[in-house]
């Protein structure tokens, strides 16, 4: 029985570790931290494997565990390079500048508070809708929207929704 | 004010998530954690039997009075065991013990049990202090280096951290151009220093990668470092809710910091400095070989006052306090590698 459970769990790890790792990279903005996060989430999933397996959406269960670990307590420990907190005034077609632009935006994403980064990653990387993000973060939909709004303002990102609303009001 | 588009944001996340581990790389560590949990549970069950036996023996008056059974639980001490990169000489043992004791005192862990041997260092702490104790055993080597150039990394799956050092600018520039972030350069002394220290040699040029942005940075030799620090303390920005470390420099250090920042202030920004012979306007704050911050110096001139702020981004308070204690007390003579960190149910010896 134990061997069967372990084989079942191992198959899940093999099938899902790639997507989970990519999401962890987006949540943490650090591949080393992401590795640790995926291992932690999968280990916790193993501890409740019978519940995870019988859940309607095992992926959502593990994702919730991972998001919770990424946004709480010691998991948010600092690792590696931390950027300066100012975005340079750049937007240009010059390849050298584009390197700077991407670098600056990635750095700014890394500098966001963990919950804002998680909310933005779940919407713009994982393409989840707001109720699913709220479920993953364990908060209300309105909190999700305010977290994303604050994060986008910090990043100075103008979204497609902004453009649509601007066009509609014209 | 320029802005980014939603597409830029999605691209940024795609670049952050561009690396992927082989399935075995995930399964192996997870399986180890599962196996460790099984062993711990088995150990706790054994202790539970022993406690029950002791209670029965005490009630019946048959047990030896001097025997004590320590139950596993919140009061059970945690144990951190480290190994120096080479056997410590008597002088190094003394210096290591002195620096660690100063750090523990500075961090409010004065009652921690510390044992420094030639081949191992052990700290017995409360489980809640284990993370802080781990930070206090970092080498604590600070280096302040001007960024000389930036270059994109063409490869994939790179690392974050140093990939090599060079003693002359020509070799360093070659390393910047040809160094592969996925495969640290074989030529030149190891990025971590030939003496086994975590930090690169302060007099050498340093090339480091940032996996998240796929960029390589060339840093000048360190202009000043740990010896210029007189004190450091953790501080919280009440608006941004982010921790940083405020470092106070000696008079000589303050002068060197002013010269470094005045020189950097005249240079172009990171995005435009690759062709600049005098480098960029950014300073790499490197602790134990890791670039922890890379602030840009504003163009109005060098920084006076002899105080340096090290922003720690999302780092929690414990990291700021540990880093401050490390920088205040100076570097450890030899790097210590973590061997085990046992938080609960630790064996009585090692």
Asked whether the beta carbons of residue A105 and residue B8 sit closer than 8 angstroms, the reply is yes
Better-scored residue on pLDDT, B325 or A51:
B325
| Cβ of residue A158 closer than 8 Å to a chain B Cβ | yes
pTM of the predicted model as reported, rounded to 2 decimal places: 0.54
Asked whether the beta carbons of residue B291 and residue A80 sit closer than 8 angstroms, the reply is yes
Q: Which residue of B has its CA nearest to A46?
A: B34
Which residues, including other chains, have CB under 8 Å from residue B215's CB and lie 6 or more apart? A99, A103, B150, B151, B152, B153, B209
Question: Of A146-155, B191-200, B323-332, B338-347, which gets the smallest average pLDDT?
Answer: B191-200
pLDDT surpasses 80 at A67: yes
pLDDT of residue A104: 79
Percent of chain B with pLDDT over 90: 31
| Cβ of residue B152 closer than 8 Å to a chain A Cβ | yes
Which among A14, A31, A114 has CB closest to B19? A31
Mutate to test the interface with B, among A19, A81, A108, A158 (most CBs of B within 10 A): A81
Chain A, residues 52-111, CB within 8 A of chain B, namely: 73-74, 76-78, 80-86, 88-91, 96-97, 99-107, 109-111
Asked whether the beta carbons of residue B4 and residue A157 sit closer than 8 angstroms, the reply is yes
pLDDT surpasses 90 at B121: yes
Three-state secondary structure readout of B323-343 = HHHHHHHCCCCCCEEEEEEEC
Provide the pLDDT confidence category of residue B101 given band limits of 50, 70 and 90: very high
Cα distance between residue A161 and residue A9, in whole Å: 40
Question: Of A19-33, A70-84, B60-74, B197-211, which gets the smallest average pLDDT?
Answer: B60-74
Q: Quick: pLDDT tens for A113-140.
A: 888 899 999 999 989 999 999 988 888 9
Tokens for B219, please give them: 């840093």
Tokens for B108, please give them: 């409010």
Question: Of A40-44, B84-88, B212-216, B338-342, which gets the smallest average pLDDT?
Answer: B212-216
The mean pLDDT value for A75-88 works out to: 35
The mean pLDDT value for A96-115 works out to: 72
Q: Quick: pLDDT tens for B143-187.
A: 999 999 988 876 655 666 788 889 999 999 998 888 877 765 443
Asked whether the beta carbons of residue B319 and residue A124 sit closer than 8 angstroms, the reply is no
pLDDT of residue A168: 44
Secondary structure percentages of chain A, helix, strand, coil, to 5: 75, 0, 25
Residues of B in contact with A77 (CB under 8 A): 131, 315-316, 318-319
pLDDT surpasses 70 at A81: no
pLDDT surpasses 70 at A62: yes
Which among B1, B271, B316 has CB closest to A96? B271
Provide the pLDDT confidence category of residue A76 given band limits of 50, 70 and 90: very low
Q: Contact at 8 Å (CB) between B164 and B188?
A: yes
pLDDT of residue A101: 64
């Amino acid at each position: 029985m134990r061997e069967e459970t372990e084989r079942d769990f191992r198959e899940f790890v093999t099938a899902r570790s790639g997507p989970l790792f990519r999401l962890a990279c987006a949540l943490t903005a650090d591949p080393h931290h992401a590795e640790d996060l995926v291992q932690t989430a999968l280990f916790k999933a193993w501890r409740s494997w019978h519940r995870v397996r019988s859940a309607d959406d095992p992926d959502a269960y593990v994702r919730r565990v991972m998001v919770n670990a990424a946004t709480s307590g010691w998991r948010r420990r600092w690792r590696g390079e931390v950027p300066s907190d100012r975005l340079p005034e750049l937007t240009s077609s010059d390849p050298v500048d584009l390197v700077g632009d991407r670098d600056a935006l990635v750095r700014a994403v890394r500098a966001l508070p963990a919950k804002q980064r998680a909310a933005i990653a779940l919407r713009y990387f994982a393409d989840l809708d707001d109720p699913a993000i709220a479920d993953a973060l364990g908060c209300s939909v309105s909190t999700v929207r305010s977290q994303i709004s604050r994060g986008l303002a910090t990043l100075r990102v103008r979204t497609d929704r902004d453009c649509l609303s601007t066009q509609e009001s014209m | 004010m320029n802005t980014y588009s939603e597409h830029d944001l999605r691209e940024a996340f795609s670049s952050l998530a561009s690396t992927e581990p082989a399935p075995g790389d995930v399964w192996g560590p997870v399986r180890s954690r599962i196996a460790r949990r099984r062993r711990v549970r088995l150990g706790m069950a054994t202790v539970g039997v022993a406690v029950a036996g002791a209670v029965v023996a005490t009630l019946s008056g048959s047990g030896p009075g001097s025997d004590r059974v320590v139950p596993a639980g919140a009061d059970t001490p945690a144990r951190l065991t480290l190994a120096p990169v080479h056997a410590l000489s008597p002088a190094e043992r003394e210096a290591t013990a002195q620096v660690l004791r100063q750090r523990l005192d500075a961090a409010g862990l004065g009652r921690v049990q510390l044992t420094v041997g030639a081949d191992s260092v052990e700290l017995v702490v409360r489980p809640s202090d284990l993370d802080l104790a781990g930070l206090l055993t970092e080498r604590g080597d600070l280096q302040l280096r001007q960024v000389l150039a930036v270059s994109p990394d063409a490869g994939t799956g790179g690392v974050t951290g140093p990939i090599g050092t060079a003693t002359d600018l020509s070799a360093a520039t070659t390393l910047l151009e040809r160094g592969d972030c996925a495969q640290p350069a074989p030529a030149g002394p190891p990025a971590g220093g030939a003496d086994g220290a975590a930090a690169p040699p302060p007099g050498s040029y340093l090339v480091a990668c940032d996996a998240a942005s796929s960029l390589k940075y060339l840093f000048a030799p360190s202009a000043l470092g740990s010896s210029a620090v007189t004190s450091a303390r953790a501080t919280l920005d009440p608006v941004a809710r982010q921790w940083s470390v405020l470092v106070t420099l000696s008079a000589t250090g303050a002068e060197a910091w002013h010269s470094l920042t005045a020189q950097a202030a005249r240079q172009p920004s990171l995005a435009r400095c690759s062709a600049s012979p005098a480098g960029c306007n950014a300073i790499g704050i490197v602790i134990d070989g890791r670039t922890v911050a890379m602030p840009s110096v504003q163009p109005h001139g060098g920084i006076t006052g002899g105080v340096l702020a090290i922003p720690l981004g999302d780092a929690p308070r414990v990291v700021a306090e540990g880093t401050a204690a490390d920088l205040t007390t100076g570097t450890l003579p030899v790097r210590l590698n973590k061997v085990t960190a046992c938080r609960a149910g630790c064996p009585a010896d090692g």
